[in-house]
Amino acid sequence: MEDVILNQLDYPILTWTVFLPVIGAFIILLMRNATLIRWSSLLITIATFVISLPILTNFDKTTYKMQFGEQYAWIPSWGINYSIGIDGISILFVFLTTVLSILCVLVSWKSVETKVKAFHIAILAMETGMLGVFVALDFFLFYLFWEAMLIPMFILIGVWGGQNRVYAAIKFFLYTLVGSLLMLVGIVVLYYQGDRTLDILVLSSLQYPLKLQYWLFLAFFAAFAVKVPMFPFHTWLPDAHTEAPTAGSVILAGVLIKMGAYGFLRFSMPMFPDATMFFLQPILILSIIAIIYGALVCFAQKDFKRLIAYSSVSHMGFVTLGLFALNTQGIEGGILQMLNHGIITGAMFLMIGMIYERTHTRVIADYGGFARFVPWYAGFFIILTLASIGLPGTNGFIGEFLIIFAAFRAEMILGVLAATGIILGAGYMLRLYQDIFFGTGNPDYEASGHHPVRDLSIREVITLIPLIVLIFWIGFYPDAFLSYIHASVEHLIEQVNQTAYAGQENLIAKYIGEIF
């Protein structure tokens, strides 16, 4: 693997990072005591995070090449290898996954009281699947991890979800499965085009006929657009978020929907650069629609959790807008905003789960004046609210600024329309905060004896603090994270620019102008 730097360390750090959670799941399988299971799950996720830290500290930021690479023959007759590695595009998501997995265990400490063993096995299996997707360098291995994630998430929603959990779980499974099957067809075509190899780096270095690129791009687009989810493939997300347990919502928002955007970066852009340029304008338009539509729908939501779910559609619209602006600021802003969204929205869902444990309602109208009952909760939530709307000094500002800047560079009308999404986002988030913490609550609900409720516990504060720290760390010193991705992004742009469509006229202003 000429694009892979052999492991800088003396041990297979990526293998240990990826598979430690599932090894821990097998150990938990032998346990019976619920308390022991919870502590074991927490220690396993913490150990996974600690083991992964040398990846960050030993990472070479000056090269775009894969690092900490491992490759072993697996099924030689089919050209399948156990091949893994990490670069600047994937390293931040490995970090995010290991952090959020710890917090998912903590937030479920008391809320999950039935089938505790099965729940924690599902969480740990999910962590292995997510980490595997970000490090796999063989398509067979990648697809195994990609599909393996469906099962534990389906179980999390279907078993520990809300009243309509079965409907939401099946809808999530069917949407993602159909898209993934189309991607599988594309992988099989690549296998034969690449002289029977599934090595992702080898296949990324080949040139494919123009018409074939179009069809392959669409096959992969089916999987990635659903996973993001892009408009109009987003309808599974609000149901899945609303019905999922808190940990499931955190994983969905924090990691799973990032995998679609990661797929565009890892496969669609470098492998099918001509098709990327060909489909660029429709994707940019869909991104703008997602930003504005997702924000407008938030104003109509009465369910606390469903509002934040629809906000993800709008925020991920910013991500795809940045990525397909195809300039340095846009792609770096898109990657950073993927990380930011995982931090902010993950924390939002954590806090929704915490208050739901106390009130057993997510109806916004049932709240009102909650600031006087839960001042610590209100304080943490205002930080998340301001980060979500992009207040300077928070991580949300950095990502959105880079994306808006990139959009203006690509075409002014893109930047103008995207900026309206920020204004709308401030509107629905500030209104949500006003209604919950300073508004007038439902008299019937208050008369039922639900007020007052207790404030955050020490465990819950400990759960939130790491994400609050990341919000301000990225907000005040973004280069600590952007420095990891510079080299990889520059190399990706070079790959995309070497196309038959390089330098073509940008028609986005014409298209949108005709619409309006």
> H-type helices in 63-115, by residue range?
91-107
Percent of the chain with pLDDT over 90: 40
The mean pLDDT of 240-257, rounded to a whole number, is 87
Q: Which two tokens stand for residue 515?
A: 């619409």
Output the pLDDT for position 234: 81
Q: pLDDT (tens digit, 9 = 90+) per residue, 322-343?
A: 999 888 888 999 999 999 999 9
pLDDT band per the 50, 70, 90 thresholds, residue 515: very low
Q: Does the pLDDT at position 505 exceed 80? A: no
Task: Report how far Cα 174 is from the mean position of its chain's Cα atoms.
Answer: 19
Q: Which pLDDT does position 444 carry in this prediction?
A: 63
Question: What was the pLDDT predicted at 516?
Answer: 40
- Is 70 exceeded by the pLDDT of residue 320? yes
How far apart CA 421 and CA 311 sit, in angstroms, is 10
DSSP letter, residue 311? H
Distance CA(376)–CA(424), nearest Å, equals 27
Share of the chain above pLDDT 70, in %: 92
Under 8 Å CB-to-CB from 406, ≥6 apart: which residues?
322, 325, 327, 328, 329, 330, 331, 333
pLDDT (tens digit per residue) in 483-498? 999 999 998 888 887 6
Residue 394 has φ and ψ, to the nearest 5°, of -115, 165
499 vs 2: which has the higher pLDDT: 499
Give the pLDDT confidence of 214-237 residue by residue, as tens digits: 899 999 998 899 888 888 888 888
pLDDT at position 506 = 47
d(CA 256, CA 96): 11
d(CA 383, CA 386) in angstroms, rounded, equals: 5
Does the N-terminal peptide bond of residue 232 adopt cis geometry, omega within 30 degrees of 0? Answer: yes
Confidence bin at 7 (pLDDT 50/70/90): low
From residue 195, alpha-carbon distances to 77, 177, 190, 413 in Å are 13, 27, 9, 44
CA distances from 275 to 179, 215, 218, 221, 223 (A): 18, 9, 9, 11, 16
- Round the average pLDDT of the chain to a whole number and report it: 86
Res. 173: pLDDT tops 90: no
pLDDT band at 510 (very low <50, low <70, confident <90, very high): very low
- With helix as H, strand as E and coil as C, how does 163-194 read? CCHHHHHHHHHHHHHHHHHHHHHHHHHHHHHC
